[in-house]
Structure 1
């Protein structure tokens, strides 16, 4: 019994350590069920602005919706063709999978007013 309790405590401690990890992933894994709240790192190309700080992003595996606060892009909306590298959190909302971006690592391409702009954080 003591071994079982000790094993449970150790397993819980291990889960706590790994829970805060950021995983590198793609749109297919997001839409196929990565757990809500998981922090992910992704990159891809903006396909379309959806309004209200939301965009459709395409990567090598498909497409996923992202939510990007304009504060993270120097108050400039992004155009189709803009390449992004970012870290965000998975959210499954009303049957849709969305990545809410927390940090932008790089923006290359076509922000609204500068066709060859590069922004890095």
Structure 2
């Protein structure tokens, strides 16, 4: 009788062991198809595909930031209608122009991010 009383718990323990071993495995889906990986197999993430990745506004692959065309476009969003000059001065672009009433204005833009740093308008005098 003693053996029969131990068979039930032994089967239960074997079932738990088999379930935990099966749960430790992972599934790999890649170019080779679908397969089950052994528990010790480390799955490395796939390499990124070749090409340009978007890293946010103002980022350029060559780390030069924005160019003069982008600076002129950003200055237009600040109210410049007519552009007289676009100059790079260190870390900023300075766009000089006029607003819709013909008054001179100067817009300073970050050369890296494209953020408007300052807008100067001519005062009435």
Report if TM-score (shorter chain) is over 0.5.
no
Range into which the TM-score falls when normalised by the shorter chain: under 0.3
- Greater C-alpha radius of gyration: 2
Larger RCO, structures 1/2 (Cα 8 Å, 6+ apart): 1
TM-score w.r.t. the length of structure 2 is: 0.26
